[in-house]
């Protein structure tokens, strides 16, 4: 059972107060968050710091960026063993048209997608939009 500090260090990320707070914030959230979400949660911190922290996390593969079609980048912690860069590892994302939240469906891998001859698939982004479990009252 690693501490967060140990985990960050194992990823070659220096531990700072800010980084710990942001990591914990992401870990508590069950949904993908925008930079503004983080900004609102830490009003004392500068936006740039938050931005660069997220980018650092992304580089070191502890968060992945999600384009859910809203036009605003969202971020979520990677699961253990998640290799975001490997196509076959990619899970799909769900965006709720009602509450506007986006969540990782980590259990749901993206099916193999056929592309025409001559095309080479390197990466797939799949976003399902609809009504989430909370909003469907189910």
- Residues interacting with its own copies, by CB under 8 A? 67, 69, 71, 92, 94, 97, 105, 107-108, 111, 113-133, 136, 138
104 binds Mn ion (CB under 5 A): yes
Instruction: In whole angstroms, give the CA distance from residue 6 to residue 104.
Output: 25
Residue 83 CA from chain centroid, whole number: 12
Name which position in 98, 121, 123, 125 contacts Zn ion (CB under 5 A): 98
Q: Among all chains, which residue has been given the structure tokens 């593969």? A: 61
Q: Which residue is nearest to Mn ion (CB)?
A: 104
Instruction: In whole angstroms, give the CA distance from residue 60 to residue 44.
Output: 25
Name which position in 27, 99, 105, 128 contacts Zn ion (CB under 5 A): 99
For the bound state, the minimum distance from the C-beta of residue 103 to DNA, rounded and expressed in Å, comes to 18
Give the residue from 109, 98, 52 showing the smallest Cα distance to 75.
Answer: 52
Output 6 or 36, the one with its CB closest to its own copies: 36
């Amino acid at each position: 059972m690693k501490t967060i500090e140990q985990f960050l260090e194992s990823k070659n990320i220096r531990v700072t107060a800010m980084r710990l707070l942001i990591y914990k914030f992401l870990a508590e959230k069950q949904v993908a968050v925008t930079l503004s979400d983080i900004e609102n949660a830490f009003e004392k911190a500068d936006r740039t710091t938050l931005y660069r922290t997220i980018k650092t996390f992304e580089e070191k593969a502890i968060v992945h960026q999600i384009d859910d079609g809203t036009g605003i980048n969202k971020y979520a912690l990677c699961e253990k063993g998640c290799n975001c860069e490997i196509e076959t590892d990619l899970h799909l994302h769900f965006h709720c048209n009602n509450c506007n939240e986006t969540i990782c469906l980590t259990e749901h891998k993206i099916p193999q997608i056929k592309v025409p001859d001559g095309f080479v698939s390197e990466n797939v982004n799949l976003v399902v939009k609809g009504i989430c479990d909370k909003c469907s009252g189910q």
